[in-house]
Structures are given as C-alpha cells and as structure tokens.
Amino acid sequence: MPRTSRGGAGSGTARAPEPLISIGAVLARLRDEFPEVSISKIRFLEAEGLVEPRRTPSGYRKFSPDDVERLARILRMQRDHYLPLKVIREHLDALGRGEHVQLPAPQRGPLEGLPEAESGAPTVARIGREELLAAAGAEEGMLAEWESYGLITPMPDGGYDPEAVTVAKLVSDLARFGLEPRHLRVMKAAAEREAGLVEQVVAPLRRHRNPQTRAHAEATTKELATLSVRLHQALFHTALGDRRY
C-alpha cells in the first residue's frame, strides 16, 4: 500500500510530498543553525517578498520544504556575506532561472578594538556638503539652520551620511506647509527615543562572543527599524482619526 501524508497521497514508487508546516515549526528547524531567528524575522522576509508561504482559508501560514530551504539560504547570505535584501533577491531570482551565482567571500564579524576599515566590516558612504546641497536643492543658509536644530549632523570629517539627503528633502517639503525646523525638533526627539529602544534590544547581540551572532545584529536592527516605522505610521494615522492615508 503506498505511503500517504497530510500533504497528499503517493502512488506507485513516487515519493509522497512532504507536509506543509507552520511558522512555529519553521522556526524550530532554523534555530539550530540560526539561534537568533524569530517569527517576526520570518514575517519580515515575507513582507519583503523574499518568501511566499501558502495560506490556509483561515489565514495561517504554511511553509513547504522549499520555503524552509529558501529561508535558510537567505539567512546564510545575510550572516556570512552581509548582503542587503535587494542583492539577495537578485541572487535568488538568478538561481530560480537556473543561473550560476557567485557570492562574495564569506566575511567574519567585526573584530573588537579595530576600526571598520581594518576589521573588514562595511564602511558607511559619505557625501560632501556641496553634493548634499545640490541633491536637496537647498541653499547654504537653509542647511546651516537645519544643522543648528540638529535635524542634520555632519560627520567628524565634515561629510554627511547619504540619509541626510532624504532628511533635507523632507524638511524642505514640510517647509512649504509652514513647518519650520524648530517645529520638527519633536520629530527628531521621537526618532531618537525609538532608535534608543532598538539599540537596547540589539546591544546584547553586538556584544556577543559569537561572530555570527554579532553579524546578525545588523539584520535585526533593520527588521526592528522597519517594524517601528510601520507602528509609528499606524499610530500616527490613528491619532489623526483617519486610517485611509
């Protein structure tokens, strides 16, 4: 008599398909290799379109063995190669087309006591003051005012984080509605409190003796940041009394 399973019935010598499993079971399978993985992390990767589990009529996620292997591959790319999600998605798409993918050499976690350039950790890109002004369409006086209120802060070498361009553009757009830099200090203060909360969660990972755990801190930070932004947006819309934005 052919062997059957919850996922379907086998016939003849054909191998019966493995049953679909819940997100909790996926977590149990992954945690041996990825001790820091969480259900929220898996949901985050799903929200980013990197894995697409099936759904039951009642809305529960069900994962196939291929889904579990895909998640493991994604987590390895993050842990071992420090690849951003966009690049991981491109690699997965290429693999799906049957193409050969050449990954960068595995990297070790940052070595304590060494600057980033020596430890092999990725460095942060910087832009100059003129580049920032040109990208934001701002004048020198405007940038000076933004800096005086702490909305934009130059790095010790006088350069700026690329995110400063986004901040500058948004501050300029808000100014069209009469919101001046002094009005935006409350937003900066709220962002700093949220960042401090995220840092409290991630700090133990950064201090961990296991290099793989320290490397996972970056992915955890991004996940928490995304969730925090979504929560902030939902609470903001609720406070305005309209969720349709």
Mean pLDDT of 218-238: 83
pLDDT value at residue 14? 57
86 with 23, same domain?
Answer: yes
* pLDDT higher at 62 or 79: 62
Place of tokens 């942060």: 124
Residue 228 pLDDT > 80, yes or no?
Answer: yes
Of 80, 96, 112, the domain-final residue: 96
Q: Domains in the chain: how many in total?
A: 3
Q: Do the domain assignments include residue 106?
A: no
pLDDT value at residue 79? 80
**Identity of the residue numbered 82:** Y
Listed in sequence order, the residues at least 6 apart from 41 whose beta carbon sits closer than 8 Å to its beta carbon are 219, 220, 223
Listed in sequence order, the residues at least 6 apart from 14 whose beta carbon sits closer than 8 Å to its beta carbon are none
Domain with 134 in it:
124-179
Mean pLDDT of 33-39: 85
Percent of the chain residues topping a pLDDT of 90: 14
Residue 2 pLDDT > 90, yes or no?
Answer: no
Other residues' Cβ atoms within 10 Å of the Cβ of residue 185: 12
146 with 193, same domain?
Answer: no
Query: Measuring CA to CA, which residue among 219, 213, 151 is closest to residue 186?
Result: 151
- Kindly tell me the burial class for residue 106, based on how many C-beta atoms sit within 10 Å of its own C-beta (0-12, 13-18, 19 or more): exposed
State if pTM tops 0.75.
Answer: no
pLDDT digits (tens, 9 = 90+) for 116-129: 333 333 344 577 88
**Identity of the residue numbered 77:** M
